[in-house]
Amino acid sequence: MQTFIGKSIAQNGSNVSNDFFSTELLKTALDSINNGGFLRSLMMPRFMEVLMDTKSYEREFFVNALILSEDIKILDEAKNLIGFDITNFPIILIGNKRRCKIFEKLLENKKNNLNVKSVYDKGLIEEFVIEGGKRIIEKIKDKL
């Protein structure tokens, strides 16, 4: 079963753009989250589809920007939750290139001069997973 959100961002062959990035849509998503909240903001892709001349990849970008804008709020809460400001430490983003770029821009808006690195090369991510798995096994085999 599809939701109206899924239908609004579903890509048809002519509307595919994996490299699309829009600072304007990112700002609109952030404003929408801050002023209307996450759930209300999720209605926007449907309005964008029906009332505006937008492409599916623009609406998909907007939904990703909404989700990540909501996620980024943890930075404001982190000091109270864990007792220190995590933006004082290096931040490494691993995963989808477009999502990493959205996070980078949101982090840049939060605080200047952050030490942010992004890894979206699939081969390198696979190496990290394998190496991390090896290290976990080494740590727990001594305890078993």
Strands (E) located in the chain: 91-94, 116-119
Q: Are 56 and 66 in contact (CB under 8 A)?
A: no
Question: At residue 119, what are phi and psi to the nearest 5 degrees?
Answer: -125, 115
Residue-level pLDDT at 65: 94
Answer whether residue 89 shows pLDDT above 90. no
Model pLDDT for residues 21-77, shown as the tens digit of each residue: 999 999 999 999 999 999 899 888 888 888 888 888 898 899 999 999 988 888 778
- Across 117-126, b (16+ Cβ under 10 Å) vs e yields ebeeeeeeee
Angle between helix 56-71 and 97-110 (nearest 10): 50
Model pLDDT for residues 6-21, shown as the tens digit of each residue: 767 776 655 556 678 9
Give which of 115, 68, 74 is closest to 91, Cα–Cα: 115
From residue 14, alpha-carbon distances to 27, 56, 71 in Å are 26, 9, 31
Residue-level pLDDT at 81: 82
Which range (9-23, 62-76, 91-105, 110-124) has the least confidence?
9-23
Most confident option among 44-53, 122-131, 133-142: 122-131
Answer whether residue 88 shows pLDDT above 50. yes
Residue-level pLDDT at 121: 93
pLDDT band at 111 (very low <50, low <70, confident <90, very high): confident
pLDDT-above-90 percentage for the chain: 39
